[in-house]
A and B are shown apart, each in its own frame.
Chain A
Amino acid sequence: MGGGIIKILDLNNIGVRGVNSVLHNFSEEGEENFEIHNPHGKHSIACGLDAHLFVEIKGHVGFYCGGMNKSANITVNGHAGVGLAENMMSGKVRVIGNASESAGATAHGGLLVIEGNASSRCGISMKGVDIVVGGSVGHMSGFMGQSGNLVICGDAGNALGDSIYESKIFVRGEVAGLGADCIEKEMTSGLQAKLANLIETSGIKADPNEFRHYGSARKLYNFDIDNADYY
């Protein structure tokens, strides 16, 4: 939380457009604290924030919360719907509860922390974001991940890391199944240090020594007739 007073934005009074237009009205240097009340599962809350705002949402949010975030630090005190922090560029998004499918989809940067479970397709097509999930993730998580780190403190569902590029996936629990071209890889000391740092930054309690590292076998990068079955 930044310094200064906390301004309250009530969705019951000003609606999603009202809330987002207040939050958009700051330059990148701005630093303010906001609380958003009565989210009632509405979509697109706190999307496209450019400034260094601290935003706490008091309750459960709908789809696309924190989407396209740049610089803001957003906390959801509840459950988040589909497409949480999709296409985030930088900044932080934290969810205290569970998240629905496609959390962190296509996100380029920043840190997404889900304290509970994420559902299917967590980190789908991630492009540089760091995602830390305190619980488990559903099937097809890390699908086509290009860059960034997906840390799963619980279990992973089927087809983890399918068609993955250069994202790195770390799993503490069981993996139900790996997707095409995703393999277990060596946990180097450099990666171990990076993982420990990510876990510490996320604030989630987990021992970095208990994780396995998964990534791309790089067999799908170029067309190979022997891989035709994968396509």
Chain B
Amino acid sequence: MCGIVGLYLKNDDFQSQLGKMFRPMLLEMSSRGPDSAGVAIYRNPVIDGQTKFSLAHSDSAFPWKTLEIDFAATHQCAVSIQKVGTHCILITEAEEETFVEWLKNSEHKIQIVGSGQSIEIFKEVGLPEKVYELFELKEASGTHIIGHTRMATESAVTTAGSHPFATGSDLCLVHNGSLSNHNILRRNLEHEGIQFQTENDTEVAGAYLTWKLRSGASLRQALEDGISEIDGFYTFCIGTQNGFAVVRDPIACKHAVLAETDDWVAMATEFRAIAHLPNAVNAEIWEPEPSTIYIWGEE
């Protein structure tokens, strides 16, 4: 099972309504994934030289402000913190690697769920409606948004095991299906210096794309290589800072539907998730073909 949904705006006038438009999309997929839910939203890009981190902590009362003070004390580098539900969005001018290393060695037990210039990731166990409310997403503005409702099959029901998985700057991936060669791919990618946070198969697919993009591949090229190297059942929805992509495995037995109007592109596991978008009734609607890469925004 699992439900995946994505919404990419072609018309900027809708940006202020992104969270409102996406809410019924995610909630409609609750029956496919009641264990946990997650959302990656692309909004409020930071300026060059800054990095935006999405951080999570198992203690909902964790005092995020201490992070601001601790880091500033040791690095003479400002960080700004905004608490959102059980997560926080942290913006810093420090080098990304420096901050990640510092966080790993700190005693705070904080999990990095996403990083980049635009991406913000929020994911938590529980029903999608609860998760959406917790992270105040209904009022959110942004350019594109990707979500996942999870019925766990390959690993535990935890925040860390929830989708979306972000493994590189501004890249995130949601997955419906199960991969069969993720262990060997994980080992190979670890040799390439990619770090993993979970045993989850989907994280490997995200990491694979990150590795390809870091090596200079375009998103399309990375996905083309992924079709030949990632084995298993999958429908992926992928976000990058300016791009939105959908791809299915060569057998294509994991449901997917795409819909497009002049104003937006939407993908979902089932059309009922798309049905409530403005003008959905007049959208062009089709089932994405196997081994075919659909990309909007950047190539």
A-side residues, CB < 8 A to B, are 39-43, 59-60, 62-63, 78-79, 81-82, 97-98, 100-101, 117, 119-120, 138-139, 157
Chain B, range 204-258, C-beta contacts under 8 Å to A: 252-253, 255, 257
Minimum CB distance partner of A139 in chain B: B290
Set of chain A residues within 8 Å of B21, measured between Cβ atoms: none
Contact B281 A82 (CB under 8 A): no
Interchain CB contact (< 8 A) of A120 among B271, B273, B285, B290: B290
A139/B281 in contact, CB under 8 A: no
Measured as residues with beta carbon below 8 angstroms from the partner, the interface class of chain B is 10 to 19
CA distance A120 to B275 in the complex (A): 22
Q: Name the one of B253, B270, B287, B290 contacting A41, with C-beta atoms under 8 angstroms.
A: B270
Contact of A117 among B257, B275, B276, B286 (CB under 8 A): B286
Give every chain A residue within 8 A of B273 (Cβ-Cβ). Answer: 41
Q: Are B272's CB and A62's CB within 8 A?
A: yes
CA distance A56 to B280 in the complex (A): 19
Residues of chain B with a CB closer than 8 A to A97's CB: 285
Residue B274 at the chain A interface, CB threshold 8 Å: yes
User: Is B289 on the interface with A (CB-CB < 8 A)?
Assistant: yes
Is B275 touching A41 in the complex (CB atoms < 8 A)? yes
Which of these, A60, A63, A139, A157, contacts B275 with CB under 8 Å?
A60
- In the complex, what distance in Å separates the CA atom of A41 from the CA atom of B272? 4
Q: Which residues of A contact B257 (CB under 8 A)?
A: 79, 81, 100
Residues of chain B within 8 A (CB-CB) of A43 are 270, 272
Query: What is the distance, in angstroms, from A135's C-beta to the closest C-beta of chain B?
Result: 10
User: Nearest Cβ distance between residue B190 and chain A, in whole angstroms?
Assistant: 35
Decide if the interface of chain B is mainly helix, strand, loop or mixed.
Answer: loop
Question: Is the Cβ of A139 less than 8 Å from the Cβ of B270?
Answer: no
Closest 5 CB pairs of A and B: A41-B272, A41-B271, A40-B275, A79-B285, A119-B287
The chain A residue with its CB closest to the CB of B272 is A41
Name the distance in Å between A26's Cβ and chain B's nearest Cβ: 27
Cβ distance A66 to chain B, nearest Cβ, rounded Å: 16
Residues from chain B with Cβ under 8 Å of A119 in the complex: 286-287, 289
- Complex-state Cα separation, A57 to B126, whole angstroms: 35
Q: Give the A-B contact count at a CB cut-off of 8 A.
A: 59
Contact between A82 and B255 (Cβ–Cβ < 8 Å)? yes
Inter-subunit contact B255/A120 (CB<8 Å): no
A39 and B273 CA atoms in complex are apart in Å by 12
In whole angstroms, what is the CA distance A42 to B28 when docked?
10
In the assembled complex, which residues on chain A have CB atoms less than 8 Å from the CB atom of B290?
120, 138-139
Which residue from chain B places its CB closest to the CB of A61 in the assembled complex? B271
Alpha-carbon separation in the docked complex, A157 to B291 (Å) = 12
**With A60-B281, A120-B252: A40-B272 Cβ-Cβ less than 8 Å:** yes
* CA A43 to CA B121, docked complex, whole Å: 31
Contact check, A59 vs B281: say whether CB atoms are below 8 A apart: yes
Residues of A with C-beta under 8 A to B289: 119, 138, 157
Cα distance A43–B280 in the bound complex, in angstroms: 17
A81 to B273, CA, bound (A): 12
Q: For A60, list chain B residues within 8 Å (CB).
A: 271, 275, 280-281, 285
> Would A42 and B285 count as touching, CB distance under 8 A?
no
Task: Identify 14 new A-B residue pairs, CB closer than 8 A, beyond the known A39-B275, A78-B281.
Answer: A41-B274, A42-B272, A43-B270, A60-B275, A60-B285, A79-B285, A81-B257, A100-B287, A101-B253, A117-B286, A119-B289, A120-B252, A120-B287, A138-B289
Q: How far is the CB of A18 from chain B (nearest CB, A)?
A: 17
Query: Which residues of chain B are within 8 angstroms of A79 by Cβ–Cβ distance?
Result: 257, 271, 285-286
Assess the B252–A139 pair: CB atoms within 8 A: yes
Residue among B252, B271, B281 making CB contact with A62, cutoff 8 Å: B271
Query: How many angstroms from the CA of A216 to the CA of B252 in the assembled complex?
Result: 25
| Cα of A157 to Cα of B251 in the assembled complex, Å | 12
In contact, B285 and A62 (Cβ under 8 angstroms): no
B270 contact from A39, A62, A117, A138, Cβ within 8 A = A62
Give, as a whole number of angstroms, the nearest-CB distance from A44 to chain B: 12
